[in-house]
């Protein structure tokens, strides 16, 4: 389903840009609304309208439509490295003999964990990757051990500590 407001002449020339990837979901105005909210999630509709070049009412309607369709969610995140907290990616291989119910219970447990901020299915050597954080790497390692304690579903796992993040989503945090 393409965006009817965009013609082929309007399409971004580089297919490897956020605009090009999102063109089936966001038109030019919606993309500018996204970028402005990504930079400052507390921006008012009035300021947003001035930046995007639409009326306040039009911007509010567009923002609400994007939010109601779950295409856009305004989040606050803690920049873990700025708070001097440890985070890691945890790659998990499942025991292939466990039931889908056990897999669902395990994934649900991770989703409900307060120190787990991302949980995704993946292809390849591992079945699941999740991101977790804690006060330091030792506490993070013990936290992961506790998560896996008694869980026969976990066949193998690798913890990859993250030392420096230069960019998170569309936000530059630092330069090398």
Q: Which pLDDT score is estimated for 18? A: 85
Q: What is the pTM of this model?
A: 0.76
Q: What is the CATH number of domain 80-168?
A: 3.30.70.920
In the predicted model, is pLDDT for residue 125 greater than 90?
yes
Give me the residue spans of the domains in the chain. Answer: 18-69, 80-168
Nearest CA-CA partner of 66 in 52, 77, 79, 78: 52
- For 69, phi then psi, to 5°, come to -85, 0
CATH 1.10.10.10 for the 18-69 domain, yes or no: yes
């Amino acid at each position: 389903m393409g965006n009817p407001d965009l013609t082929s002449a309007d399409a971004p020339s580089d297919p490897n840009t956020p605009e090009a990837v999102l063109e089936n979901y966001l038109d030019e105005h919606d993309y500018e609304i996204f970028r402005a909210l990504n930079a400052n999630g507390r921006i008012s509709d009035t300021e947003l309208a001035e930046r995007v070049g639409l009326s306040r009412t039009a911007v509010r309607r567009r923002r609400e439509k994007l939010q109601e369709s779950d295409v856009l969610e305004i989040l606050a995140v803690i920049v873990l490295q700025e708070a001097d907290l440890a985070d890691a990616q945890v790659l998990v291989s499942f025991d292939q003999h466990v039931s889908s119910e056990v897999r669902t219970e395990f994934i649900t447990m991770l989703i409900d964990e307060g120190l787990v901020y991302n949980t995704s299915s993946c292809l390849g050597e591992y079945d699941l990757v999740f991101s977790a954080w804690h006060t330091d790497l030792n506490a993070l390692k013990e936290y992961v051990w506790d998560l896996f304690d008694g869980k026969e579903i976990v066949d193998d796992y690798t913890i990859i500590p993250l030392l420096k993040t230069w960019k998170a989503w569309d936000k530059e945090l630092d330069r090398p």
